[in-house]
């Protein structure tokens, strides 16, 4: 019984343990590097292996700047197409896993798979129904004041209407990427349920560009998802220094040719003026079918071809394959009276 401790002995041992300081051996920190550094000179940050950041900060800044240019061009193109002010801006630019991106999307939505001719794999563009149906209502002549947003997949007519918007977005996206590499984007497929689309494994890293779109009193989001393995071949070209240097070294002659090509596709109105004369208002009111209008211009003289109301060429009126035609003789000179 002498080996047993009573309560007073136990209390004395606990008090002595609390009063004494326990010395812990100092842990030595070793840092392995090509050059010798002390632990105080190194900034240690936490790294989540479940969400690896495969895109550097410089490349993320370059991607954001590139798609800010895309947002401006896309907004200007939509404004001209819809005949109203449309504002598109980059709200977020972050990298995450494909599973996280898909789980954050609504169902149903407009989910389009996009592919580029020089890149392997597919990207995806998601357009929220909150902005899709106001655009469709605008295209059909509505005002979007009391618009109801249906919770259903889009019909074939609605999909065809919204494809006009998507085509303009792909053109603006190609123009934005032209500073890095000339790419032509096309729509490969369309889906309403994003859970049914699996372009990459769920744990694959993707870059998501979040766009905010405003149309009068309506607003919605668009998300451009770019898998890392798709843009990996051009990641070296996306470094901030090389991308901005490419923009600075852009040849002005090439820029002029591109502007010329864009202007060359612009439609213009042509009209041919045979002759002009003046008559009184009384004669105009009494004019009937079969009356003759006498002009001072001989029939043998060429007609004036006007472009958007401006006289540009002289030509002779005739027929070509059964249709009315005008054969251009020459351009109008400064001294000609037309």
CATH fold of the domain at 270-331: Surface presentation of antigens (SPOA) (2.30.330)
3-state secondary structure of 326: strand
Render 247-260 in DSSP notation, one character per residue. HHT--HHHHHHHHH
Q: Over the stretch 99-145, which tens digit does the pLDDT of each residue have? A: 889 988 888 888 999 998 888 889 999 999 888 988 888 888 887 77
* Residue 305 neighbours by CB distance under 10 Å: 21
| CA distances (Å), origin 123, targets 147, 148, 223, 231 | 31, 30, 11, 10
Q: Over the stretch 285-337, which tens digit does the pLDDT of each residue have? A: 888 898 888 887 777 788 888 888 888 888 888 888 888 888 888 888 887 77
| CA distances (Å), origin 131, targets 5, 137, 144, 209, 218 | 79, 10, 10, 17, 7
Q: Where are the domains of the chain?
A: 57-259, 270-331
CB 169 within 8 A of CB 74: yes
Quick check: pTM over 0.75? no
| Identical topology for domains 57-259 and 270-331 | no
**CATH code of the region 57-259:** 3.40.1550.10
């Amino acid at each position: 019984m002498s080996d047993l401790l009573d309560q007073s002995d136990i209390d004395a041992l606990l008090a002595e343990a609390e009063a004494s300081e326990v010395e812990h051996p100092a842990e030595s920190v070793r840092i392995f590097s090509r050059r010798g550094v002390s632990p105080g000179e190194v900034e240690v940050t936490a790294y989540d292996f479940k969400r690896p950041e495969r895109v550097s900060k410089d490349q993320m800044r370059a991607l954001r700047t590139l798609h800010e240019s895309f947002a401006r061009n896309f907004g200007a193109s939509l404004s001209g197409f819809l005949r109203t002010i449309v504002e598109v801006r980059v709200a977020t630019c972050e990298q995450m896993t494909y599973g996280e991106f898909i789980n954050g999307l609504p169902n149903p939505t407009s989910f389009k798979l996009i592919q580029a001719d020089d890149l392997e794999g597919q990207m995806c563009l998601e357009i929220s129904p909150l902005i899709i149906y106001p655009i469709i209502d605008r295209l059909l002549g509505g005002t979007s004041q009391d618009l109801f947003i249906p919770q259903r997949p889009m019909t074939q007519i609605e999909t065809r209407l919204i494809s006009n918007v998507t085509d303009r977005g792909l053109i603006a996206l190609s123009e934005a990427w032209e500073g890095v590499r000339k790419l032509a984007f096309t729509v490969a497929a369309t889906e309403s349920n994003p859970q049914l689309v699996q372009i990459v494994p769920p744990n694959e890293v993707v870059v998501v560009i979040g766009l905010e779109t405003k149309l009068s009193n309506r607003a919605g989001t668009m998300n451009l998802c770019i898998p890392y393995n798709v843009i990996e071949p051009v990641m070296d070209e996306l470094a901030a220094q090389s991308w901005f240097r490419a923009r600075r070294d852009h040849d002005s002659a090439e820029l002029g040719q591109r502007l010329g090509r864009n202007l060359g596709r612009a439609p213009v109105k042509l009209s041919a003026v045979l002759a002009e004369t003046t008559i009184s208002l009384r004669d105009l009111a009494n004019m009937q079918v079969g009356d003759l209008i006498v002009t001072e211009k001989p029939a043998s003289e060429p007609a004036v071809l006007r472009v958007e109301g401006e006289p540009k060429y002289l030509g002779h009126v005739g027929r070509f394959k059964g249709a009315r035609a005008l054969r251009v003789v020459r351009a109008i000179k400064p001294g000609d009276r037309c």
